[in-house]
Structure 1
Amino acid sequence: MCGIVGYLGADAASGRQFAERGGRLLQHRGLDDEGVFAADGVVLGFRRLSIVDLTAAGHQPMTSPDGRYTLIYNGEVYNHEDLRPRLSNRWQFSSRCDTETVLAALAQEGPAALERMVGMWALALWDAVDRRLLLSRDRYGQKPLYWRKCDDGSLRFASEIAPLIDAGERPKLYAPAMAEFLAVGSYGHLGERTFFRDIRSFPPGHWAWIDNCRSEIEPRRYWRFPVCRKQDQRPLDDYAARQFREAFLEAVGSQMVADVPIAATLSGGLDSSAVVGAMALSKSNGRIRAFTAQARGTAYDESSYVAAVGELWGDRLEIEALAVETMSLSILTEAVVVAQEEPFGDPSIIAHDLITRAVRKSGITVLLGGQGGDELLLGYPHFSPAVVASELRGGRRYWALREMTSLGMGSGALIRIGASAIWPTLERSMRRRSKLNAYHWLSPALREAAWDLSPHLAALSHLDGVWLENIEKLALPHLVHYDDRNCMRHSIEGRMPFLDHRLADVVAGFEPQAFLDHGRRKNLLRHACGDLLPDIVRSRNDKIGFHTPLTELMAAEIEWVQELVCGEEARASELFDTDWISSRCEALRHRAAGPADVGRVWRALVATIWTRAFSVDCDVVADRQPPLVIAADSSRARAFM
């Protein structure tokens, strides 16, 4: 896990200055080593956090023996040892690190090598002969990569946004992102756009060759989350369960490989408990360390589930607990906002940061977690109506009615399910009206700048569309973003076994009953990996998530909150109606604000902190160009149900 920066342009001095400054700003991403490569028209900079082969043999930038290719690479390829035999006829390896494997693979096979790599990465490869640069990012976007086209025609890129903002610059706000965030707490439909108007994110699952003379980025897709045609789906039987179990254990085992200490996060939910169980199962000699954060004494306290996991694995597991109710938003929020480089939806991101800080203080460098399980296995509660509506639309009325009864759905959910099953466009229209109502407290200028992205929403009864939407836009991009920032802020490599793409190949072929059965979500995980879970965890059907008591935390420091969201800076930014927000703060002070209004106050708070921390120019520009939507290559088009 590392940090990369790069420059493609004509001014060598500016390029080196950019790379050196970027390296300093990314120091937290790699404390062990640094390096800069410079050639005519290109400069590449690197910070190293050593994970595998801690020797100088893993130094980057790394150049091929013939001098043609130079690589900077942030990430981990878990199957790199399996790739070496096919490469060794034309390459004499001199290290154990995966960086050299990636360099050899790209030098011999080009972008086609990406399809055989299992892991996470953001990389840049300079070809000195053809004078062009290859950029690529892993399938799910676990490793970040940002770029900016500058006024002098140069292209600059980095693992984080900070190096792309010049010293003393007031970067411009990308208004549609802010409008979407303030109104509904999400902005994933904006594709490659960020909160900064002039800075883009390179898309996951893509690569691009960039010519030195043009510096234009035209990404090409090499992977997309698979979906099986309905007629080809298979039921969940013992053979299928074994297939999933084997793939899951392989994913966890491959991500436990490191030459530094490893640990895991543990919430007490199904996903993290399964990851910890698989780690404990594979490590018969030695103990696995697990870190947990709990809001003790509240309705969201999962300590009993964590304790049950500890009892199941006994001496194989050592659990360290952190109490989140002791958090102070006024002390912690700004530093995490700066690290995240964007506002975020709730203070669970801060609690996660506290965990990563404690992990690092304990001497841990690699941290595994259960993130991605809900997206892969349709585990979020909002997936259940989509599964039911899809089956109802497909004619499986008895099964759909049984699940609606088991889930105890309210009238609103039943209306949405029925509408989408019979008339999908009507249900999307209902969602559109509901969503547009959420913009009422934004300033007129920001409402004008917002894009109506509702036509791009998947219909509830199109399960594969909803699934893909969460993988590519609504849920997973935010999750991998905050995990990377919090982990790397404390020089930790975060790993997510559920995002091994080989698991997706297995999961995508199952019938809906694999995910929902008698109101129980993640039936597949319970069935295939039940022995990894204590009974109390395997049988639970609630979904708490990484909860932090938002109302209590903000009410405890309401004076500070109100000063920020209603103060001079907030009024000057003209992003939202500060008088209306002030009234919600007063309601919050007396514990009379509902969850929706509490969420709006929080988003106003972190947006204000973000604009101040990055000196953002909040002059709203009504961008008339829609966000970039990159279509799948025709050879890899998905088959929608």
Structure 2
Amino acid sequence: MCGILGYFGSNVQNFTSKVSLDAIAHRGPDFANATQGNTYFLGQTRLSILDLSENGNQPMFSSDNKYVIIFNGEIYNHLELRSEYLPNQNFKSTSDTETLLYGLIHYGIEFISKLNGIFAFSFYNIETKDFIIARDHFGIKPLYYYIGINEICFSSELKAILPFKKELEVDNFALKNYINFLWAPGELTPEKEFKKLHQGCYIKGNSEEMGKGEIVKYYHVPFTGKYLQKTEKQWIDELENKLIESVQRQMLSDVPVGFFLSGGLDSSLLVAIAKKIHPNSTIECFTLKTEEVEKEGFASDFEYAKSIAKHLDVNLNIVEGKIDILKDFDKIVFHLDEPQADPAPIHVLNICKAAREKGIKVLIGGTAGDDVFSGYRRHVAIPIIQKMQLIPLFLRKVIKKVASLFNRKSSFGRRINKLFYNIDQPINDTMLGYFDWIDNETLENLFIDKNTKDKHLYFKEIIKSIPNEKSNLNKMLFWELNTFLVSHNLNYTDKLSMATGVEVRVPYLDVELVNFSTNIPPEFKLKGKEAKYLLKKVAERYLPHDVIYRPKTGFGGPVREWILNDMDAIINDYLSKETITKRGIFNYEKVQQLIADNKKGTKDVSYPIWSLLAIESWMRQFVDKNN
């Protein structure tokens, strides 16, 4: 696990005069180095996990010095790849970087499809000047890039390459997305010309002929609309085996490995499987002690985490979850690189910091269990809204109107309003509405220059790639994997863990496991009102019933309470008339109306207000500094 920074083009000196590896030093505190030539610069900061010797250092050159690679991530199946595809290669290290290097030398770009892991890398042929810049199947590792005239630069973090452009230009459509979703899907970042490389994609080109480069999609989540027919027990047995294989693969490490243990189903099952694989090993787990999620309508996880740790006989490290939001707010936005609106990154930072202090460089967590096997409330809503589609439109409009009258200061009122928010629309639009945090009219009125571009455009475009998938649940899971998961959860998990020099691994995103999951009939993922049905059946073999079948919990903080009561000082500063007028992006009166409606309870928009604060924080830390 590391940080990478690179450039291909005609003006290397200009690039190196503006950017520095120091910007991503936190990602790789163990070693840093770079190499450059007339048309390239490749730099890396290393967090040593496999082959701790200098033989694993990067940039890594081939034995004939014709090829060089910089790599961030882990290839979990690299030993198998060595055995099957590179049996005669004389390796000098046991690192997965060297496996990747020689795999690309011998098999070219096609070798990427054989990888099972998390990665962002760049591979360069020094003689032919051909390069590859690639990101893993699910976007677990971040990769940002900027394409200029006859040049491209890229990095693990946006902050490292922003200084390359003299004047930053804010993308208002991206800001619209950050306010509506609390994150921006697809390639969008707050700056118009800096992009995120889509998951499952690579860029190929030549550093002396930059006009011939192209972006290629090498992996799609294979939702085909076809499901295998097996008994429930067969599905349970096969899923259990896939999970065991995934956990076993992802425990590959030359340094100590620990686990997140929230007390919820996803993380608890992974710890239980690890205990089965290594029954005599001491397993270090980390949990958060906080009562604040209860204020957002969720139950606390802490007591369940203690119960599971005792049940599995693992060592539980307790991390205090108290947040000083005024102190931490700007720091979190800085690490995120984007104005995401969620307090969960603070918890990731604190847990990973505690793990690192205990000498643990790798943590395994339950991220993506909900996205692969259906665990969110919006998934449980799908059977309800499918039935609602049979009701005449005028009655659905009445239901929507009645639902909007519920008090949004209560969690029950918010959920009723959300459930029927788009019930008068076609079912795809109803489902898309569950990703929204603000109605479209209010959102567009916040901007001085109205942007009527459809905020759901990316969702509607990518769904075209699975035309044969008829299950609404699987359509929603496809959206989860390609939007919310990668642009929100995976981004904050990577950025805040790497801020402390800790790598987080996510077994639910094992390539074989995800591909397997798309063959499962939807009724085994959501059975009646029981979300993650099949996963829970596997868990019954490992965990107590009350842990498996308890209400879903949150991993955040009391955002509504903070916005209504605790953050007046930052709101009055970041959203003041002077500040908003200076930016020239938002309508001050409409922003003030939003804040007033939120305080009165006529709108539930604390999270969009948080987004507005995050946008201003991002502007101050990056745009003002750069410009």
Decide: shared fold, TM above 0.5.
yes
Q: Is residue 497 from structure 1 mapped to residue 507 from structure 2 by the alignment? A: yes
> Structure 2: which 5+ runs fail to align?
391-414, 465-469
Q: Which residue of 1 aligns with 2:209?
A: 214
Specify whether residues 440 and 39 from structure 1 end up closer, same or farther in structure 2 by C-alpha distance, changes over 3 A only.
Answer: closer
Q: Cα offset for 1:521?
A: 0.6
Tell me the distance in 1 between the aligned counterparts of 2:137 and 2:434. Answer: 33
Aligned residues: 592
| Contact 1:203–1:219 (CA under 8 A) maintained in structure 2 | no
Q: Cα offset for 1:477?
A: 2.6
Give the AA of the match of 1:306. A
Q: Cα offset for 1:615?
A: 2.3
Specify whether residues 493 and 560 from structure 1 end up closer, same or farther in structure 2 by C-alpha distance, changes over 3 A only.
Answer: same
Tell me the distance in 2 between the aligned counterparts of 1:503 and 1:435. Answer: 36
Q: Which residue of 1 aligns with 2:39?
A: 41
Tell me the distance in 1 between the aligned counterparts of 2:422 and 2:189. Answer: 31
| Contact 2:7–2:154 (CA under 8 A) maintained in structure 1 | yes
Q: Cα offset for 1:385?
A: 3.0
Q: Cα offset for 1:597?
A: 2.2
Match of 1:453 among 452, 456, 460: 456
Q: Which residue of 2 aligns with 1:381?
A: 377
Q: Which residue of 1 aligns with 2:556?
A: 547
Give the AA of the match of 2:344. S
| Contact 1:142–1:484 (CA under 8 A) maintained in structure 2 | yes
1:107-186 matches, cutoff 5 A = 107-151=105-149, 153-166=150-163, 169-186=166-183
Q: Which residue of 2 aligns with 1:367?
A: 363
Match of 1:443 among 441, 444, 447: 447
Q: Is residue 602 from structure 1 mapped to residue 610 from structure 2 by the alignment? A: yes
Larger mean Cα displacement after TM superposition, 27-36 or 465-474? 465-474
Larger mean Cα displacement after TM superposition, 6-15 or 154-163? 6-15
1:369-518 matches, cutoff 5 A = 369-386=365-382, 413=419, 420=426, 435-445=439-449, 447-448=450-451, 450-453=453-456, 456-457=459-460, 462-518=472-528
Match of 1:528 among 534, 538, 542: 538
Give the AA of the match of 2:204. W
Specify whether residues 455 and 376 from structure 1 end up closer, same or farther in structure 2 by C-alpha distance, changes over 3 A only.
Answer: closer
Specify whether residues 427 and 376 from structure 1 end up closer, same or farther in structure 2 by C-alpha distance, changes over 3 A only.
Answer: closer
Q: Is residue 339 from structure 1 mapped to residue 347 from structure 2 by the alignment? A: no
Q: Is residue 80 from structure 1 mapped to residue 75 from structure 2 by the alignment? A: no
1:563-582 matches, cutoff 5 A = 563-566=573-576, 568-582=578-592
Q: Cα offset for 1:110?
A: 0.7
Tell me the distance in 2 between the aligned counterparts of 1:485 and 1:294. Answer: 22
| Contact 1:15–1:42 (CA under 8 A) maintained in structure 2 | no
Specify whether residues 234 and 618 from structure 1 end up closer, same or farther in structure 2 by C-alpha distance, changes over 3 A only.
Answer: farther
| Contact 2:361–2:503 (CA under 8 A) maintained in structure 1 | yes
Report the 3-state secondary structure (helix = DSSP H, G, I; strand = E; otherwise coil) of the residue aligned with 2:541.
helix
Report the 3-state secondary structure (helix = DSSP H, G, I; strand = E; otherwise coil) of the residue aligned with 2:222.
coil
Specify whether residues 123 and 302 from structure 1 end up closer, same or farther in structure 2 by C-alpha distance, changes over 3 A only.
Answer: same
Q: Which residue of 1 aligns with 2:408?
A: none
Tell me the distance in 2 between the aligned counterparts of 1:582 and 1:426. Answer: 29
| Contact 1:23–1:45 (CA under 8 A) maintained in structure 2 | yes
1:599-638 matches, cutoff 5 A = 599-615=607-623
Report the 3-state secondary structure (helix = DSSP H, G, I; strand = E; otherwise coil) of the residue aligned with 1:466.
helix
Give the AA of the match of 1:165. L
Tell me the distance in 1 between the aligned counterparts of 2:267 and 2:445. Answer: 38
Q: Which residue of 2 aligns with 1:349?
A: 345
Specify whether residues 88 and 455 from structure 1 end up closer, same or farther in structure 2 by C-alpha distance, changes over 3 A only.
Answer: closer
Q: Is residue 246 from structure 1 mapped to residue 238 from structure 2 by the alignment? A: no
Q: Which residue of 2 aligns with 1:397?
A: none
| Contact 1:308–1:534 (CA under 8 A) maintained in structure 2 | no
Tell me the distance in 2 between the aligned counterparts of 1:311 and 1:430. Answer: 37
Tell me the distance in 2 between the aligned counterparts of 1:491 and 1:393. Answer: 49
Specify whether residues 568 and 250 from structure 1 end up closer, same or farther in structure 2 by C-alpha distance, changes over 3 A only.
Answer: same
Tell me the distance in 1 between the aligned counterparts of 2:388 and 2:326. Answer: 48
> Structure 1: which 5+ runs fail to align?
395-408, 620-641
Give the AA of the match of 1:510. I
| Contact 2:340–2:611 (CA under 8 A) maintained in structure 1 | yes
Specify whether residues 71 and 429 from structure 1 end up closer, same or farther in structure 2 by C-alpha distance, changes over 3 A only.
Answer: closer
| Contact 2:432–2:456 (CA under 8 A) maintained in structure 1 | no
Specify whether residues 505 and 417 from structure 1 end up closer, same or farther in structure 2 by C-alpha distance, changes over 3 A only.
Answer: farther
Q: Which residue of 1 aligns with 2:287?
A: 292
Tell me the distance in 2 between the aligned counterparts of 1:427 and 1:67. Answer: 53
| Contact 2:181–2:437 (CA under 8 A) maintained in structure 1 | no
Give the AA of the match of 1:529. A
Report the 3-state secondary structure (helix = DSSP H, G, I; strand = E; otherwise coil) of the residue aligned with 1:4.
strand
Tell me the distance in 2 between the aligned counterparts of 1:439 and 1:418. Answer: 19
| Contact 2:179–2:608 (CA under 8 A) maintained in structure 1 | yes
Report the 3-state secondary structure (helix = DSSP H, G, I; strand = E; otherwise coil) of the residue aligned with 1:336.
helix
Tell me the distance in 2 between the aligned counterparts of 1:597 and 1:430. Answer: 14
Q: Is residue 187 from structure 1 mapped to residue 184 from structure 2 by the alignment? A: yes
Tell me the distance in 2 between the aligned counterparts of 1:380 and 1:252. Answer: 23
Q: Which residue of 2 aligns with 1:358?
A: 354
Tell me the distance in 1 between the aligned counterparts of 2:471 and 2:112. Answer: 34
Q: Which residue of 1 aligns with 2:410?
A: none
TM value normalised by structure 2: 0.87
TM value normalised by structure 1: 0.85
Q: Which residue of 2 aligns with 1:264?
A: 259
Q: Percent identity?
A: 24
Q: Cα offset for 1:583?
A: 5.3
Q: Cα offset for 1:584?
A: 5.3
Specify whether residues 426 and 208 from structure 1 end up closer, same or farther in structure 2 by C-alpha distance, changes over 3 A only.
Answer: closer
Give the AA of the match of 1:121. F
Report the 3-state secondary structure (helix = DSSP H, G, I; strand = E; otherwise coil) of the residue aligned with 1:207.
strand
Q: Which residue of 2 aligns with 1:628?
A: none
Tell me the distance in 2 between the aligned counterparts of 1:476 and 1:354. Answer: 21
Specify whether residues 468 and 587 from structure 1 end up closer, same or farther in structure 2 by C-alpha distance, changes over 3 A only.
Answer: closer
Tell me the distance in 1 between the aligned counterparts of 2:533 and 2:85. Answer: 41
Q: Is residue 277 from structure 1 mapped to residue 277 from structure 2 by the alignment? A: no
Specify whether residues 417 and 164 from structure 1 end up closer, same or farther in structure 2 by C-alpha distance, changes over 3 A only.
Answer: same
Specify whether residues 53 and 425 from structure 1 end up closer, same or farther in structure 2 by C-alpha distance, changes over 3 A only.
Answer: closer
Report the 3-state secondary structure (helix = DSSP H, G, I; strand = E; otherwise coil) of the residue aligned with 1:475.
helix
Give the AA of the match of 1:307. K
| Contact 1:584–1:593 (CA under 8 A) maintained in structure 2 | no
Specify whether residues 551 and 236 from structure 1 end up closer, same or farther in structure 2 by C-alpha distance, changes over 3 A only.
Answer: farther
Specify whether residues 82 and 339 from structure 1 end up closer, same or farther in structure 2 by C-alpha distance, changes over 3 A only.
Answer: same
Q: Which residue of 1 aligns with 2:393?
A: none
| Contact 2:146–2:152 (CA under 8 A) maintained in structure 1 | yes
| Contact 2:225–2:471 (CA under 8 A) maintained in structure 1 | no
Q: Is residue 203 from structure 1 mapped to residue 198 from structure 2 by the alignment? A: yes
| Contact 2:33–2:45 (CA under 8 A) maintained in structure 1 | yes
| Contact 2:202–2:216 (CA under 8 A) maintained in structure 1 | yes
Tell me the distance in 2 between the aligned counterparts of 1:11 and 1:444. Answer: 38
Tell me the distance in 1 between the aligned counterparts of 2:165 and 2:224. Answer: 51
1:18-97 matches, cutoff 5 A = 21-97=19-95
Q: Which residue of 1 aligns with 2:8?
A: 8
Q: Cα offset for 1:210?
A: 0.7
Report the 3-state secondary structure (helix = DSSP H, G, I; strand = E; otherwise coil) of the residue aligned with 1:148.
strand
Report the 3-state secondary structure (helix = DSSP H, G, I; strand = E; otherwise coil) of the residue aligned with 1:74.
strand
| Contact 1:208–1:220 (CA under 8 A) maintained in structure 2 | yes
Q: Which residue of 1 aligns with 2:310?
A: 311
* Residues 181-200 of structure 1: CA deviation (Å, up to 9, x unaligned): 22343421xx2221111111
Q: Cα offset for 1:219?
A: 1.5
Tell me the distance in 2 between the aligned counterparts of 1:44 and 1:274. Answer: 40
Q: Cα offset for 1:332?
A: 0.6
